[in-house]
Amino acid sequence: MLNDADDAVIASGQPHTHTSTVTIDGTDRIYEATKHPVKDENGKVTGILSVIRDVTEQKRIEETLMFSDAALKSIQECVYAMDNDFNVTYWNATCEEIFGIEASKALGRYIGDLITMQEDYPGQNDERVRLLVEKGNNREEQVYITPNGAIWVDVLAQTIDRNGKRHGWITLANDITERKKVEEELRISEERTSRAFRSVPDGITITRLSDGRFIEVNDSFLNLTGYTREEVLGHTTRELTMWVDDHDRETLMSLFKKDGKVTNFEHRFRKKSGETGIGVINAEPITMTGMACAISVVTDITEKKKAEEQLRYQASLVDNVAEAIISHDFNLKILSWNKAAERIFEIKKEDIIGKDIRKVCRIEPVSTTVGNVKKAVNEKGLWRGETIHHLKSGKSIHMRVSTMVVRGETREQDSFVLIMSDITEEKKAEAKLKQLYEQEITLRQKVEHEMKKRTEFSAAIVHELKTPLTAILSSSELMMEMALDETLQRLSKNINRSAYELTKRTNELFDMSRGELGILEILPEKFNFLETIRSMQIEFEALFSRANISFTMAIPETLPPVYGDEVRIRQVIYNLIDNASKYTPEGGTVTLKVKDNSSEVLVEIRDTGPGLSSKQKESIFEPYRQLIDGTRSKGGMGLGLAIARNLVEAHGGTMRVESRKGKGSRFFFTIPYQTA
């Protein structure tokens, strides 16, 4: 229904302002309503846009001009007083802010020298003064020219009377620059209303209240729903099945009828494609060419809802991580406090939010100072390190901390996030580990000292044994050359053979001792592995021929060079061949195979001896484990295989055995072509 004010706006095509008093909850409120005509492209008024402003406080201020100095200073409007000659006698803080003139520079000066009232026509200011003097008051919207520029003000000027005598003037000026800008923008945009209507990013619809049919929609609504304008106009939301839940439509209609509008109504909508989304509707009644309609703004919050869900998920993650996550503002007031922080610091979230973080505990950085931490955070926006937190309860907690800055528009708007892991137990373990490590070092030094003494003792024993053995070997060899008697020849050979075996055992004992200490001497160089094998072939054939054992070799035509100690590798092969010769019976077979195995050479020595039991295989490479064939000892101290394995491992290779009782044995070892 149109009222008289609406008719006046439609008839004149000009804005119309009026005030009214409304009682709300027993309290009177004064509203100022300005109605602006909405025109079509032909200048015809097609609707009315109302701007309603609560002016209750302003009216009260107008009616109560005599107030205390404290009250004058507390209000937000510009208040200044003048004597009868219009010289300023009072100038509040709002005047200083709005007009850009300090009170100290305004007091005592003529008001016209401070601010100029802009005239719409010549002589208007003189007329204003005359009306003020005649009536004793004047209310007007004016433009003041001030040091801060042109300012629109709603001015109420009134005489100050005491006992019927005029003592000056008091003026209440409200800055309405923004309001005027809005009104001007509304006026300018009237001819562009239709275009602006269609370009608003939110969907806007106008529907008839009588049947709910669309009479206008903007492009954003069409983009949101996926329909064309032709498909929408003249139809209802129900006909287009836009409501996912028809109960939402009924609830919205009920709210509109009850309250005369709908505010922030959340609902689920369906697009033409069948895809659904979440929207918020704000709707108010309007009149279009005398027809009651509703204008609705539909905001798509689907992505916002997804983001909120993601935020809730992230918040849940923050609350369930093992690390304490705390944030505080520039003034050290705590903003957030997750469950891990509650557990570590033994303080509930509701008891700490908003409080100074320094009240939680005293923080002591490790290996740095508080000043260095602050400097790093201020300059780099990040600091990582360890801190000790001394709680009020007397408990100390060792923390691993990351502190970062979330920058605001100003430094005072910065906030800080602390991620802290309780490493108290870790530090205790480290301290214990350090203690054990120091004990280990002490023990190792003692062991190394004992091992050194043992090595030195072994070397001394070997030296003491080799000196007489060398003389025995030399003398026996000389005796074999000079002795003519057969008995002396046999005795010389026995002495020489025994001295040789004793020298061999002495060397093995020394090698074993050095191997156990990890100081076995290896002198690596590049050499031709196949030539080494071939050079040993004649010696092996002679050895097996004397024992009536068949010996065969299977080696490739070429091999890459091997980087190792040729003498030591010869020793390995000889020890394995010697071992095979001892345990292979007459008429048996021993086979030596060499294979290129990618990055290493693989050597296999197979015999047809008695084989090994599972228990024997477990200890075959242990020193001093002499294997007995059940009838006689094979001689030696059982060091050959142990030394061979030590030498192979010193080259970075491996040694293993495959054997079954009564089926013979196969010994394998590998030597890398390039040893680190």
The pLDDT, as a whole number, for residue 357 is 81
Flag whether pLDDT at 503 surpasses 70. no
Which tokens in the block code for residue 118?
Answer: 């802009």
- C-alpha 648/C-alpha 625 separation (Å) is 19
Angle at 295 between CA 289 and CA 297, to 5 degrees: 155
Q: Where are the alpha helices (DSSP H) in 517-598?
A: 529-546, 566-583
Neighbours of 213 (CB within 10 A): 14
Averaged pLDDT, 140-162: 90
Looking only at the bridges linking them, the beta strands covering 137-146 and 116-117 are: antiparallel
Averaged pLDDT, 57-81: 67
Sheet strands (E) in 460-530 = 525-527
pLDDT digits 0-9 by tens, 82-133: 998 899 999 998 899 989 999 999 999 999 899 999 988 999 988 988 888 8
Name which of 534-538, 610-614, 640-644 the model is least confident about. 640-644
Flag whether pLDDT at 401 surpasses 60. yes
The pLDDT, as a whole number, for residue 676 is 43
- Candidate ranges 35-49, 553-567, 637-651; pick with highest mean pLDDT: 553-567
Flag whether pLDDT at 657 surpasses 50. yes
Flag whether pLDDT at 519 surpasses 80. no
Question: For a pLDDT cut of 70, what percent of the chain falls above it?
Answer: 85
DSSP notation for 38-84? EE-TTS-EEEEEEEEEE-HHHHHHHH-----HHHHHHSSSEEEEE-T
Name which of 212-221, 404-413, 576-585 the model is least confident about. 404-413
The pLDDT, as a whole number, for residue 627 is 43
Residue 89 CA to its chain's centroid (Å): 62
The pLDDT, as a whole number, for residue 105 is 92
Averaged pLDDT, 256-265: 92
Return the closest-CA partner of residue 465 out of 516, 510, 514, 518: 510
Averaged pLDDT, 458-476: 66
- C-alpha 558/C-alpha 563 separation (Å) is 16
Give the CA dihedral 377, 379, 381, 384, nearest 10 degrees. Answer: -50
12 or 159, higher pLDDT? 159
- Largest Cα–Cα distance of the chain, in whole Å? 168
pLDDT digits 0-9 by tens, 348-384: 888 888 888 877 778 788 777 777 878 888 888 888 8
pLDDT digits 0-9 by tens, 274-293: 999 999 999 999 988 789 99
The pLDDT, as a whole number, for residue 630 is 42
Neighbours of 50 (CB within 10 A): 14
- Which pLDDT band, with edges at 50, 70 and 90, does 629 fall under? very low
Cα end-to-end distance, the chain, whole Å: 99
- Which pLDDT band, with edges at 50, 70 and 90, does 632 fall under? very low
The pLDDT, as a whole number, for residue 227 is 94
Q: Cβ neighbours of residue 170 under 8 Å, at least 6 residues apart?
A: 65, 79, 80, 81, 82, 90, 157, 158, 160
Give the CA dihedral 610, 614, 619, 620, nearest 10 degrees. Answer: 30
Can you tell me which residue has the tokens 């490479």? 621
639, 659 in Cβ contact below 8 A?
no
The pLDDT, as a whole number, for residue 674 is 77
Flag whether pLDDT at 235 surpasses 80. yes
Averaged pLDDT, 502-512: 64
The pLDDT, as a whole number, for residue 474 is 73
Sheet strands (E) in 179-239 = 203-208, 214-217
328, 341 in Cβ contact below 8 A?
no
Flag whether pLDDT at 424 surpasses 60. yes
Give the domains, in start order, of the chain with CATH numbers.
2-62 (3.30.450.20), 75-181 (3.30.450.20), 204-306 (3.30.450.20), 521-672 (3.30.565.10)
Residue 272 CA to its chain's centroid (Å): 40
Which tokens in the block code for residue 92?
Answer: 């509040």
Q: Kindly report the backbone phi and psi dihedral angles of residue 623, in degrees, each rounded to the nearest multiple of 5, phi listed first.
A: -70, 150
How high is the mean pLDDT of the chain?
A: 83
Give the CA dihedral 220, 221, 225, 229, nearest 10 degrees. Answer: -100
The pLDDT, as a whole number, for residue 152 is 92
Can you tell me which residue has the tokens 């309503």? 33
- C-alpha 366/C-alpha 654 separation (Å) is 48
Averaged pLDDT, 2-7: 68
Flag whether pLDDT at 624 surpasses 80. no
SS3 (DSSP) at 267: strand
Angle at 180 between CA 178 and CA 186, to 5 degrees: 105
The burial class, CB within 10 Å (0-12 / 13-18 / 19+), for 164 is exposed
562 or 352, higher pLDDT? 562
